[in-house]
Structure 1
Amino acid sequence: MCSIKLVLIPVILYIVFAKDVPSITTSQTNVTVVVGRDAYLTCNVENLQNYMVAWLRVDTQTILTVGQLVVTKNPRVGVLSGPHSCTLTLKDVRQSDVGRYMCQLNTDPMIVQEHQLQVYVPPEIVDSNSTGEVIVAEGGSVALHCTASGSPQPNITWRREDSKPIFIAGENVLKWEGEWLNISVTRRDVNCVLLCIASNGIPPSVSKRILLNVLSRPRVKTFQQQVGAYIYNTGTLKCHIEAYPAPEIHWRDMNGNNLVNGLKYETKTISRGNVHVASVTINNVTREDAGVYQCLAKNSLGTESGNITFYTLALSTEISTSTVRTVTSSNPVTTATNFTFSEFAATEIHEEPLTSIFPVLVQHHLQKPGKTTVS
């Protein structure tokens, strides 16, 4: 009887894995950079093997780089390659660089990935399309225009340089939005510098100064209708004038004579826009200086004046008996009516008896100088 033996023959199974194919793992990206800075566009690649990555500009169908080689003649373009990435670099980015860029693998078929480059640009006022200095008659209307370039498109804001309100559309506002600023009724107090401010979130914001001149005849106001000064001291008269163009300003005395700068009179005018503050200082005041003075302003649109009454201050004594008063001082003896307060305080006075010493207002056009008599 034959026996059968089973022989087990080992079977070796070989599993052959196919070579992994290259792939771009980066999703589509949007890159934003401020003009003048550097931009970096990156493609992440797996299993690159012996393939190469090329960068192209889609808009112009221009090849920029292949592998580590820069093909374009643009000196601002560069490439940074790594084992798993390839980065296109753009130095000193300009607004003209905005557009679509593509990285591609030279496989069959080709593998590609697009990137969008956006360049932000700070605002800039377009002077050629914006209003310059403006002259308008009081009560008239004016339309001011201001435009700016930049990315994103800038917003325009108007305000006064001195931060005062602007009268627009029947109300006072501190600022106004929009390229146009329309003032339907121009008042003299709008004679000012207006600022057109452009901003788009990319610093710095920029502004343009627009000088608005409102033609107006002089308007004169006096700070005080009456001004007094002590004998031998100085007195100053002032008036406030609003006018454009700048007026001629004259000071006149009670006889209508123009006051001229010199030892006796000092005139001065401080101007800011359409506002002018004029003053005259009277030196070494005497009783003869008392009277009505006139501040007169004149420009091509008209003339106006304001009056100020100037009076002198003196010291007087009231003596109730006929006793002679004795005054001791290192200075020559004068009548009490000629003393200023500072002189009076520095002098030692002895009287037998003296009832009172008091200041008296003396106006030349109402009262002539008197004499102090004793018996």
Structure 2
Amino acid sequence: MNSLRKSFGLKMLLSWATFFVDLTVAGATVSMSVSSPSFSGPIQNVTVPVGREAILNCTVTDLGEYKVGWMKADDQTILSLDSRVITHNPRISVSHDEKLHTWQLRIRQLKDSDAGCYMCQINTNSMKKRLGCIDVQVPPNIDDSLTSGDITVQEGENVTLSCKAAGNPPPRIIWRREDGAKLMLRRNSYKVYKVDNIHGMQLILERAQRQQMGAYLCIASNDVPPAVSKRIMLGVEFPPSVRVGTDILGVLEDTEVEMACNIEAYPLPVTLWIKNQQEILVQR
């Protein structure tokens, strides 16, 4: 009798052990067959002008009970979780297209400070993430503190005019004369040549001459409208030079006569007419 009980008990024990093994294996099989969330592709980077709306699309398949969130990558600021916006920035919103399985991060009235990368996350045990970046296009802006103002020099001195502009993409700087005349430049300090315009942050005028006096325009552009410009006035001081048409005039008595004296100078000189060492007329 005892041997029968032992045999029956051993069979029951083996049966339960077999049941648990089968259950465990079955459970493992079921667990392996369940799909985990995944991204269907990379997030496309976008380039958007300042003031417009930027949209990043994050497509997730087999999300199940997991959640999707957005985060600013550089400072780890949490922006949203599922359809709830966490940040207090009123320009940020999220939307979900169930048919396309796409989660959108939207930033309205884009600022240059919004530029950077954003992270789309799935809250799985081992966090899954994708990065998408926003490039904000900013029109050029000339920095007056780093740009030359009106300047006056003595004839023969060297002059350097500077123009600094910010923007994205980095602006291109072009110099030209306001009156449309060609720029007079020197090569190797001797040979003078003329050009319509010149590129670069600096306009260098070696041994400035009176013919170079006038208004210059620094124009900054980067294909993001509008382009901007600054007017810089260059004055070149030089001593007076006098030219007269005729040294001696013959006229009849009691008739009117006009005498011309052409004076070139900068600043404008005071002109004196003197007869027999006496001042008779002052012109300004």
> TM (normalized to structure 1)?
0.57
The Cα shift of 1:128 comes to 0.6
Judge conservation of contact 1:32–1:119 (CA < 8 Å) in 2.
yes
Mapped pair 1:115 → 2:147: no
Could you tell me which amino acid in structure 2 is paired with residue 200 of structure 1?
N
Instruction: Tell me by how many angstroms 1:139 deviates.
Output: 1.9
* 1:52 aligns to 2:67 (yes or no): yes
For these two proteins, the number of residue pairs brought into alignment is 240
Question: What pairs up with 1:1-375 in 2 under 5 angstroms?
Answer: 18-83=33-98, 84-169=101-186, 170-219=192-241, 242-248=264-270
Partners in 1 of 2:245 and 2:142 — Cα distance?
42
Q: How big is the shift at 1:120?
A: 1.4
Relative CO higher for 1 or 2, CA cutoff 8 Å, sep ≥ 6?
Answer: 2
Deviations 1:16-60 (A, max 9, x none): 994554332231422111122221111122333333211011111
The answer to whether the 8 Å contact 1:218/1:297 transfers is no
RMSD of aligned C-alpha atoms?
Answer: 3.3
SS at match of 1:43: strand
Q: Is the 8 A contact 2:43 2:56 kept in 1?
A: no
User: Counterpart in 2 of 1:11?
Assistant: none
User: Which amino acid letter does the alignment assign opposite residue 82 of structure 2?
Assistant: G
Amino acid at match of 2:223: G
How far apart in 2 are the matches of 1:212 and 1:98? 39
User: Cα distance, 1:147 vs. partner?
Assistant: 0.9
Rate the CA distance shift 1:237–1:93 in 2: closer, same or farther, 3 A. farther
CA distance in 2, matches of 1:199, 1:258: 56
Deviation, structure 1 residue 150: 1.1
Post-superposition Cα deviations, 1:193-221, rounded to whole Å, max 9, x if no partner, equal 01111112211111111100011233456
* Paired AA for residue 79 in structure 2: L
Partner deviation per Cα, 1:89-130 (whole Å, 9 max, x = no partner)? 112212221211011122343332110111111111111111
Aligned partners of 2:92 and 2:245: how far apart in 1? 70
Uncovered stretches (5+) of structure 1, i.e. residues with no partner:
1-15, 226-233, 260-295, 299-375
- Comparing 90-99 with 244-253, which one deviates more in the overlay? 244-253
- Please say if residues 24 and 46 of structure 1, whose CA atoms lie closer than 8 Å, have aligned partners that are also in contact: yes
Any conservation in 2 of the 1:241–1:297 contact (CA below 8 Å)?
Answer: no
Partner Cα distance (1:31, 1:224) in 2: 74
Q: Secondary structure at the match of 1:51?
A: coil
Asked if 1 retains the 8 angstrom alpha-carbon contact of 2:43 and 2:58, the reply is: no
Q: Distance in 2 between matches of 1:45 and 1:146?
A: 49
Structure 2 CA distance for aligned equivalents of residues 221 and 33 of structure 1: 62
* Seq. identity, %: 40
Write the distance in 2 (CA, Å) between the matches of 1:159 and 1:114. 44
State the one-letter code of the partner of 1:99.
G
Letter in 2 for 1:152: P
Does the aligned pair in 1 maintain the 2:274–2:280 contact within 8 Å?
A: yes
Structure 2 unpaired stretches of 5+: 1-29, 187-191, 248-255
Task: Considering fraction of residues, name the structure with more helix.
Answer: 2
